[in-house]
Amino acid sequence: MSDAAAPLPTFTVDDDDIAVITLDDGKANVISTAVVDELNAHLDRVESENVRALVIVGRPGKFSAGFDLSEMTAGVESMRALVVHGARWLLRLYGLGVPTVAACTGHALAAGALTLLSCDVRIGADGPAKIGLNEVGIGMALPKFAVELARERIVTAELGEATLGARVYDPAGAAAVGYLDRVVPAESLLDTAMDEARRLSQLRTGAYALTKQNLRGVMIDEQLSLLVDDMNSVGMPEA
């Protein structure tokens, strides 16, 4: 199991009603069952409080390395349960009724890359980061929900290489193919993300939420309905 003492994501709201979820476990920001539980609790607060936009930021050099390998390798049922739990959070984030901005501080692999794909605006720090869906490269098939997130956000010409080819990109490459929208100096990343969140927060939240539902709701509902059966067909990673 994952280290119970590992710090969980934190949640703050500033005077402009911009919420910030910070991923910082002191290591690679892996996504465990406990982390997903905490992330869902944070989205509950976004939906119940007067939050007008959300920023998700990692620790310097690390956004997220993806699902917790200790749970992913504990057995097929543990792996399936974690991916289903994480997928439901990712799809919830993708359809969240307020603007969402990812501040990609560094490496974002597998579920870390999916978190980027699930945010409305993705701003990356310039630096030696690895970003991408590397599942096929480690012997794991991409679940259907992950393929559909990639299909909606990755440029068509690069979709096969980004998924089947398990290609990992640097920040500039990630921006070119659709994981990121732009890249800025690391020292200005959080300020840039907060400024973007404040800009988006000025939009009418009801109109924003309904338009997002119209844009993404069919895909989200379909993938949620398929999720358990799809994961029940997935085995442990192959060599």
> CATH code for 10-186?
3.90.226.10
Q: What is the pTM of this model?
A: 0.96
What's the pLDDT score for residue 238? 67
* Rounded (5°) CA angle 173-124-115: 95
**Annotated domain spans of the chain:** 10-186
Tell how far CA 208 is from the center of its chain: 20
In angstroms, the CA 210 to CA 78 distance is 35
What's the pLDDT score for residue 3? 46
Q: What is the pLDDT along the chain (239 residues), one digit of tens a residue?
A: 344 568 999 999 999 999 999 999 999 999 999 999 999 999 999 999 999 999 999 999 999 999 999 999 999 999 999 999 999 999 999 999 999 999 999 999 999 999 999 999 999 999 999 999 999 999 999 999 999 999 999 999 999 999 999 999 999 999 999 999 999 999 999 999 999 999 999 999 999 999 999 999 999 999 999 999 999 998 877 65
Task: Locate 21 and state its tokens.
Answer: 């979820």
What's the pLDDT score for residue 99? 98
Q: How many CA atoms lie within 13 A of 54 on its CB side?
A: 27
What's the pLDDT score for residue 237? 72
3-state SS, residue 73: coil
In angstroms, the CA 49 to CA 28 distance is 30
